[in-house]
Structure 1
Amino acid sequence: MSSSLALPARGGRMAALVVGLCWLVVLFDGLDMFIYGSVLPHMMETKALGIDPGKAGDVGSYATFGMLIGAPSSGTVSDWVGRKKTIIVSTAVFSLASAVCASASSLGMFSFGRFLAGLGLGGLLPSAITMVTEYAPRGRRALIVGSLMTAHQAGGIVAGFVALWTGDWRVSFWICVIPLFIGVPLAAKFLPESMAFLQAKGRTADAQALADRYGVELAARDKERPAATERFSALTALFRGGQWVQTLLFWLASFGGLLLVYGVSQWLPSLMKANGYDLGSSIGFVIVINLGGIVGMLIGGRLTDKFGGSRISAIWFGATALGIYSLSIKMALPLTYTVVFLTGMFLFSAQAMIYATVAHRSDDDNRATAVGWTSGMGRFGAVFGPWLGGQLLATGSTTAGFTAFAVAGVFAMVMVSLTGLRRVQSAAPQSSTQQQLTPTG
């Protein structure tokens, strides 16, 4: 198979620029994703746009349904037209969608805005993860992905502070339009295209020009651009030979993982409020769980590079299930904050390590497609999680909500464990650079 960039091309100024700009746009992605859950308790308390727990769950599912469409589509498109264009368009879409939500005069218009946001949110992450993976130093892919995903949790922290600071859901959504004026122009001007992508498409002259601009060495390629009739080969490669087993297991693990991520992200403040905590503490839990997520991304990424993604992700999901179930028990506030922090430490990085492992096991020609479809199929869980949380909260049972999310954690743990037990021998061989990397799967 094809070879990726040599280590010198991945290091230094160019790699730092790529990771830094991708970190910024993923920060905005996290802000937009978490803002709805952060302002939701206030929206329900004031009956804004006639919202109630049942309708709130539906609205959350509209956003994740948009992500279900955006993630696999963007992965395939990114392998066609490039990572940079996909990142820019996705950021612009979810920023403009926030303006629709902020100005909505009805719940239907607000729901449409969240659906549009989902298209952009779903489209950004697979392309950003693929981009930083292709510039990651040898043996540090999972750590770089984990570092990137700290931006997502940082966005969640910002969302919590925005909700507390503004006290108004419309103002909060207007703030989420800011990426259109910061992230999009910066990425358009300074973000370089992936040289691995350019080489995979046979655009050697463009790749060489980019390498010369940043003073890096361009690796030799042994594979030319696929013919137009083979454009869907990146998708079909996920099912060739025995590869379909591993592909489906990753999709199922992602289903459970994203059910947890989006269900807990949206409903944690409301569940904790219903469990007897005041509104300020409930929103504070959003900040704390994302602080834990940042720590977990860094620890999980380093351990994944050393011990393998399937193993670490499975342990993390098991710990997540335990932590979420523990939150159904009313505890002293300091202890509750501790449990929330630890739960966040495992929750978000467990899913991120799935992406890191899929990216590592993929080739230059289909990496974005593999990550995008893993994320996209997981969006079925992301659609189901917010809906399920709303239905369970509407019954008045907070214990049932925490238990359901804990079961999802156990399910994801089992599925990702199986990807580690079965490394399909008939799968396509890795690229030469991947064979040099420390295993992440």
Structure 2
Amino acid sequence: MSSSPSATASARGTRLAKLVVGLCWLAVLFDGLDMFIYGSVLPHLLATKTFGLTADQAGDLGSYATFGMLVGALTAGTVADRIGRKKLMVVCVTLFSLASGLCAVAGNVEVFGLGRTLAGVGLGGLLPTAISMVSDYAPRGRAAITIGVLMTAHHAGGILSAYVAKWLIDPVGWRAAFWVCVLPLLFAPVLAKMLPESLSFLVAKGRTAEAAALAEKYDVELPAAAGKKSAADRWDALVGLFRGGEWLQTLLYWFASFGGLLLVYGVATWLPTLMRAEGYELADALTFVVVFNIGGIVGMLVAGRAADRFGAPRISALWFALTAVGVFLLGVHMNQTLTMVIVFLTGVFLNSAQTMIYATVSIRSTPDSRATAVGWTSGMGRFGAVFGPWLGGQLLAAGNGDWGFTAFAITGVWSMVFIGVAALRSAKQGAQNVSEQELVGSH
């Protein structure tokens, strides 16, 4: 018995979604590897005084990459609107791969810092673009879990970075770890050949025939035409985030993202070093990185399903509260097994809490404004990402490493408050809209 046309079309649509998510997943895997590799090799750099590196300088270097990510995230939406999301992803992968090569050959801290800054630009531009891309092709009602699946790649990259450091630093040296981060350059041509372009971009550029053919072939809903965007239109998309009552909601998301990324990148940069300060050997400290990122993968899958059912902002607020508790407990001396459990649970909640902010913004946005909304939410959060590594370095340099966990825990409470208020406002606005519709219907 042959399958019905609708079932066949649905299967094609599912295959397309898997293709897009799969390619974006690999790109984000390499993003995570490049991002986490610095934190994984940092204890070795400090122990061997490579480049004469001190704790406060190490914090500055961590902030260079996140500053580059700030630039990349803030410009991603605008550049994607001009050249397309597919091309931007290829450019970003190429950029952070080549920049890692610069770090591998660096002879002084200045060149190394330049390499990390350039890598950050590519890393920052890739993530919001990949999120927007998979949102375009996500099955109806499955956007949050699709984004969650995508973000597991970032933590898989973190796990890979820890193993790269464990396997290569002692026998070969820290530079070999950065040479591994150049290998994604081989993936860029694959991405260019196999990844389909964003449907909303094709429609916005007037390439409606191409978009319609792709949508029909794979049973994907074609976005409504929004017209070709000029520079003024792209600026208007940003201004639109502040029109009416949206300005407060936008700021709430930005403040929550600031705290979330301060936590994510502060902990990612300093977790192995802070654990070494607690008395653990380097191999054990890197094992904590693996466990933390395994928790991140589990958290993405759990949070994605929970967010599709209960709402992404509610899950994000709860997850940030649990993150604050977990991070605070990391500063309490416990046996290694219990510490491992706390690290795992902190990874579960911390990483997915931030991702659910992105999911909330992506779901609430229209297709033509999604890249701008997600890019600027990520970009504003990057100020926190810049501040987190710097803060950890300053606390360690002052001999107050134990306060690092407390400071990060307070940041978790900060994000919980802002995303929690955003959730309450969304619920209130939804109730008001329902009341207005009922009132209109009664007349």
TM-score using structure 1 length: 0.92
User: Is 1:256 equivalent to 2:253 in the alignment?
Assistant: no
Q: Is the 1:234–1:366 Cα contact (8 Å) retained in structure 2?
A: yes
Q: Which sections of structure 1, spanning at least 5 residues, go unmatched?
A: 1-6, 431-441
User: What letter corresponds to residue 261 of structure 2 in structure 1?
Assistant: L
**Aligned match of 2:250:** 247
The 5 A counterparts of 1:153-192 are 153-167=155-169, 168-182=173-187, 184-192=188-196
Q: 1:399: how far off?
A: 1.9
Range with bigger deviation, 58-67 or 226-235: 226-235
Partners of 1:253 and 1:396 lie apart in 2 by 29
Taking a change above 3 Å as real, the CA distance of residues 79 and 425 of structure 1, as seen in their structure-2 partners, is farther
Tell me which residue corresponds to 2:93: 91
Residue aligned with 1:181, SS: helix
Q: 1:200 pairs with 189, 196, 204, which one?
A: 204
Once the two structures are TM-superposed, the CA of residue 8 in structure 1 deviates from its matched residue by 4.6
Letter in 2 for 1:23: W
Q: How does 1:324-339 map to 2 (within 5 A)?
A: 324-339=327-342
Shift of 1:146: 0.5
- 274, 297, 309: which one aligns with 1:271: 274
Q: Residues 145 and 301 of structure 1 are in contact (CA less than 8 Å); yes or no, is this contact kept in structure 2?
A: yes
CA distance in 2, matches of 1:241, 1:342: 39
Alpha-carbon contact 1:98-1:174 (below 8 Å) kept: yes
- Cα deviation, residue 424, structure 1: 9.6
- CA 1:220–1:369 in 2, change beyond 3 Å: closer, same or farther? closer
Aligned equivalent of 2:397, options 366, 380, 394: 394
1:221 counterpart (224, 228, 233): 224
Distance, in Å, in 1 between the alignment partners of 2:255 and 2:315 is: 17
Query: Cα 1:138–1:217, aligned 2, differ >3 Å: closer, same or farther?
Result: closer
Aligned to 2:134: 132
Report if the CA contact (8 A) 1:297-1:348 is conserved.
yes
Higher relative contact order (CA 8 A, sep 6+): 1
Quote the Cα distance in structure 2 between the aligned partners of 1:222 and 1:10: 23
More helix by share: 2
Larger Rg: 2
| Equivalent pairs, count | 420
2:92 touches 2:125 (CA, 8 Å); kept in 1?
yes
Q: CA deviation at 1:368?
A: 0.5
Deviations 1:385-419 (A, max 9, x none): 00000011112222211100000100010011111
Letter in structure 1 aligned against 2:332: I
The residue that corresponds to 2:18 in the other structure is 16
Q: Distance in 2 between matches of 1:226 and 1:114?
A: 33
Q: Is contact 2:95–2:119 with CA below 8 Å preserved after alignment?
A: yes
Contact 2:258 2:384 (8 Å CA) reproduced: yes
Shift in alpha-carbon separation, 1:398–1:422, aligned structure 2, 3 A: same
Question: Is 1:405 aligned to residue 408 of structure 2?
Answer: yes
| Distance of 2:332 and 2:202 partners within structure 1 | 53
Counterpart for residue 77 of structure 2: 75
| 1:343 aligned partner | 346
Within 2, Cα distance between the matches of 1:52 and 1:422? 45
User: Equivalent of 1:384, from 357, 375, 387?
Assistant: 387
Q: Which residue of 2 aligns with 1:433?
A: none
In 1, Cα distance between the equivalents of 2:11 and 2:222? 8
1:302 to 281, 302, 305: 305
**1:76 CA displacement:** 2.1
Conserved in 1, the CA contact under 8 Å of 2:28 and 2:153? Answer: yes
**In 1, Cα distance between the equivalents of 2:147 and 2:281?**
35
In structure 2, how many angstroms separate the alpha carbons of the residues matched to 1:128 and 1:45?
Answer: 37
Cα pair 2:103 2:112 within 8 Å, conserved: yes
Q: Which runs of 4+ in 1 moved over 6 A?
A: 424-427
CA contact (8 A) 2:75 2:125 kept: yes
Cα distance change, pair 398–10 in 1 and its aligned pair in 2 (3 A): farther
Q: CA deviation at 1:164?
A: 0.1
Q: Deviations over 1:122-180 (max 9, x none)?
A: 00000000000111111111100000000000000000000000012100000000000
Shift in alpha-carbon separation, 1:264–1:229, aligned structure 2, 3 A: closer
Over the residues paired in the alignment, what is the CA RMSD in angstroms? 1.9
Per the TM alignment, residue 280 of structure 1 is displaced from its structure 2 partner at its CA by 1.1
Match of 2:319 among 311, 316, 319: 316
Cα distance in 2 for residues equivalent to 1:236 and 1:81: 21
Partner of 2:437: none
1:426 to partner: Cα distance: 9.2
Cα contact 2:204–2:225 (8 A) shared by 1: no
| Partner amino acid, structure 2, of 1:60 | G
1:232 is paired with a residue of what secondary structure?
Answer: helix
Question: 8 Å contact 1:207–1:218 — kept in the other structure?
Answer: no
- Post-superposition offset of 1:195: 1.2
Identity %: 60
1:218–1:346 Cα change, 3 Å: closer
Give the 3 Å change call, closer, same or farther, for CA 220–423 of structure 1 in structure 2. closer
Maintained 8 Å contact 1:66/1:117:
yes
Distance, in Å, in 2 between the alignment partners of 1:241 and 1:201 is: 28
Gaps of 5+ in 2: 1-8, 434-443
Comparing 20-29 with 40-49, greater Cα deviation is found at 40-49
CA 1:79 to 1:222, structure 2 compared with 1: closer, same or farther past 3 Å? closer
Contact 1:10 1:136 in 2 (8 A): no
1:365 to 357, 364, 368: 368
CA distance in 2, matches of 1:10, 1:196: 19
Tell me if structure 1 keeps the 8 A contact 2:212–2:222. no
Query: Structure 1 CA distance, aligned partners of 2:117 and 2:398?
Result: 26
Amino acid at match of 1:82: G
Q: How far has the Cα of 1:248 moved from its partner?
A: 0.7
